[in-house]
Structure 1
Amino acid sequence: MASPTVPAPWCGRDFKPRSFDKHTPVVCYDKPRASVVSHKEYDDKRFLAITGETVQTLVVPKREARTWTMQEGDLCRITVHEGSQVGDLNFWNLENTQERFYSGKTRQLHSSHLKMYDRLWSCLPHLRPMATFVFDSLANYGIDEDGASLHDVIGTRCDDYTYKLITGQDRVGSCHSSLVKAVAEERGLTEQDVHDVWNIFMCTGFTKDTQQYFCKPSPARKGDFIEFVADMNLLVALSACPQGDVSIPVGAEVPDEKCHPLKVEVFRKK
C-alpha cells in the first residue's frame, strides 16, 4: 500500500508568509595587505618595461588560442587588433603549472570585474599574486545602468560541453577547446590543465529580476588595450573567443565577421 502524500509545510492552510530582518551589507573579505599595491610602484614597473625592449609580439587568430611566457616584471599588452573582440586568459606558474590562476578567490579579494591595480591570484595552497592589472583604455566604462562592467572573473569560459547541453549538438569550437589545443600543442599540457579564466573586454553582469549572468556587446574597439605586470614567471594562454564581441548568446550561430584577432606584446626592462 502506498504511503500517503504528506504536503510540504508551506502548503498548509495556516501558512503565513515569513518576514525577514533587514541588514546592511557587509563585505565578506577585508582586503589583505598583499592585495593593495602601490600605484607608483606599479606605474614605475610599467614605465620601465615599456621603455625597455619588446621581447615578444604575436597575434592570436580569431576563433583560436595561443600561449606565451613572461618573466617576473615583464609587462603584457593585449590589444583589440582589428575589431571588437573579447578574450579568455589562463595563467600558470611557469616553473610549476599546478599553481594556476584562481578566478574565484580573485573575485572574493577584489571584485567581480577587475579594475586597474587589482591582482590575479593563484590557487590554493599557494594563494599569491600572479600578475597585477596596470592599465585599461576602457577604465572609464565603470558600472552601467544595468550593473554591467568589464573584464569579469565570473564566467568560466565558453565550452562545447555546455553548448551540447543547450543545443543537443556536438561541436568543437569554443574558448575551452581552443585553449586545450594551444596548451597541448605548444606546451605539452592537457585538458585538465585548462581552468577558469579572466574574461577581458567582456561586458557582463547579473539581471536584477532573475540574477542570471548576462552579456552585452563589448564596447572595445580597434586600438583598445589592457596591460598587466607579471608578479612571477608565467605561462599565459589567450583565446580569441569564437563568440566575437559576445553580442550573440551561446547556442546561436555567430557570423565569422563578428570575430577578430587579438594582438599580444610583451615588454621587458633593460
Structure 2
Amino acid sequence: MKIESMSQQPSRREIARNAKPMVCYAVENLPPKKGGDGLYASLRTAATDGNASLVSSLVIPPCDARSWEVPAGHIWRIVCSHGPQVADMNCWSLRNPHERFYTSKTRQIHSTHLTTGDRLWSNMPYLRPMATIIEDTIAYGFDDDGAGVHDVIGSRCDPYTHNLMTGENKNDCCHSNLVRAALRDGLNEMDVHDVLNVFMCTGFTRDTNQYFAKPSPVEVGDYIEFIAEIDLLVSASTCPQGDVSVACGGGGEPRTYPLTVEIYKPNEGWLEGWGWSSSEVSGYGGDHGLTCNIVVDGAPS
C-alpha cells in the first residue's frame, strides 16, 4: 500500500486560501418574526396609513446625547431633521439594563451594516430581538469601496483612544455624551456599550483592511425606524464629527446638527391582530455542560 508523503498534501494555509467562504449563520433558520412578514411590511407605513400615531418627540442637541423609553410594540424613528448628521445608539432592556444591545452577535447573524428587516439582538444569556428595523430611507447598500450605512463594526469615538494617540484630554465625543446620558438614567459608564452607528457610512479598506469612514449620504428628511420588541431604554449621541466629512483628529471643524426622535404608538389591538407579541429570552437551559458538583467559595454548588 502506497502512502503519500505529507509534502504532497496541501498545507492548511493552501486549504484556507482555496476554500470558498461559508456563511456561519443561516438567517433563514432564525425564529420567524412574530406577526409574520406581512406585519413588518405594514409597519413601514404604519404612521402614514393611520395604524400608528405620534405620541412624543425630542431633539438631540448637537454634540450631546439624549435617552428615551420605548414600550414594547411602539415604534421610534431617528430623523435627519436639520442637516447631515450621524448618531451613535445604545439600547438596554428597560426592566433590566444588564440586558443590552449586542453588536457582534447582531453583526454575525445579519451583516456589518444593518437595514430594513434586520434585528438588534441582546447579549447572552438573553439573546433575543430587542428591536427590528422596519424602515431605512437611505437604503444605501454597498458602494464600490465596500462602504455601507448603519454599521455595527466600529465603536463610538471616545476620550481614551484620543488620549492614547495624542496625550490630550478630549470630552467632546460620543462615549462621553453617552456616559452623561447614562448617568442621568441611573446607569454608569460601564453600561455604555458598542453602538449602532446610525447614518454613518463606513467600511474596511481593500489594501490594509482598516476601518474607514466617508461623508454620510443622509439628507434632511431621511430616517431609520424601529419597532421595540421588548420594553426599551434607548440613548443616542449626535457625533461631534457631524457627517464625518472630517476624520477624527484630522483637522478642520466639523459642522454638527441636531437629530429628532419620534415615538409612535400603534393603534390598540392592531399588532395583536397580526399575532405579534414581545420577544422572549433564549430558551437555552444554561448548564453549560456542568454535570458534576462544582465547589464555589468552599461550598459545593
TM-score where L is the length of structure 1 = 0.88
- Tell me the residue number matched to 2:117: 117
1:231 matches 2:229: yes
Greater CA drift, 216-225 or 34-43: 34-43
User: Cα distance 1:266–1:206, how it changes in 2: closer, same or farther (>3 A)?
Assistant: same
Task: Tell whether the 8 Å contact from 1:113 to 1:153 is kept in structure 2 after alignment.
Answer: yes
| Distance in 2 separating the partners of 1:110 and 1:122 | 13
- Post-superposition Cα deviations, 1:41-72, rounded to whole Å, max 9, x if no partner, equal 21334544663321210000010000000011
Task: Tell whether the 8 Å contact from 1:80 to 1:263 is kept in structure 2 after alignment.
Answer: yes
SS in 1 for 2:179: helix
SS in 1 for 2:98: strand
Q: CA RMSD in A?
A: 1.8
| Identity within the alignment, % | 50
Task: Tell whether the 8 Å contact from 1:35 to 1:119 is kept in structure 2 after alignment.
Answer: no
**C-alpha deviation, 1:252, in angstroms:** 3.0
Task: Tell whether the 8 Å contact from 1:179 to 1:239 is kept in structure 2 after alignment.
Answer: yes
- Post-superposition Cα deviations, 1:225-264, rounded to whole Å, max 9, x if no partner, equal 11011000000001000111111111234525x1111000
Gapped runs of 5+ residues in structure 2? 1-10, 268-301
Opposite residue 197 of structure 2, the aligned amino acid is N
1:40 matches 2:34: no
| Distance in 1 separating the partners of 2:250 and 2:198 | 22
**C-alpha deviation, 1:183, in angstroms:** 1.6
SS in 1 for 2:240: coil
**C-alpha deviation, 1:210, in angstroms:** 0.3
Gapped runs of 5+ residues in structure 1? 1-16
**C-alpha deviation, 1:161, in angstroms:** 0.5
| Distance in 2 separating the partners of 1:262 and 1:19 | 48
| Distance in 1 separating the partners of 2:86 and 2:162 | 18
- Tell me the residue number matched to 2:220: 222
| Distance in 2 separating the partners of 1:224 and 1:47 | 14
User: Cα distance 1:120–1:19, how it changes in 2: closer, same or farther (>3 A)?
Assistant: closer
- Tell me the residue number matched to 1:30: 26
- Which among 208, 211, 214 is matched to residue 210 of structure 1? 208
Q: How does 1:63-142 map to 2 (within 5 A)?
A: 63-139=63-139, 141-142=140-141
- Post-superposition Cα deviations, 1:86-126, rounded to whole Å, max 9, x if no partner, equal 00010000000000000000000000000210000000000
* Runs of 4+ that moved beyond 6 A: none
| Distance in 2 separating the partners of 1:34 and 1:121 | 13
Task: Tell whether the 8 Å contact from 1:49 to 1:75 is kept in structure 2 after alignment.
Answer: no
SS in 1 for 2:14: coil
Task: Tell whether the 8 Å contact from 2:43 to 2:134 is kept in structure 1 after alignment.
Answer: no
User: Cα distance 1:113–1:36, how it changes in 2: closer, same or farther (>3 A)?
Assistant: farther
SS in 2 for 1:96: coil
Opposite residue 58 of structure 2, the aligned amino acid is L
| Distance in 1 separating the partners of 2:12 and 2:90 | 45
User: Cα distance 1:98–1:254, how it changes in 2: closer, same or farther (>3 A)?
Assistant: farther
Count of aligned residue pairs for this structure pair: 251
- Tell me the residue number matched to 1:245: 243
| Distance in 1 separating the partners of 2:191 and 2:96 | 11
| Distance in 2 separating the partners of 1:254 and 1:201 | 21
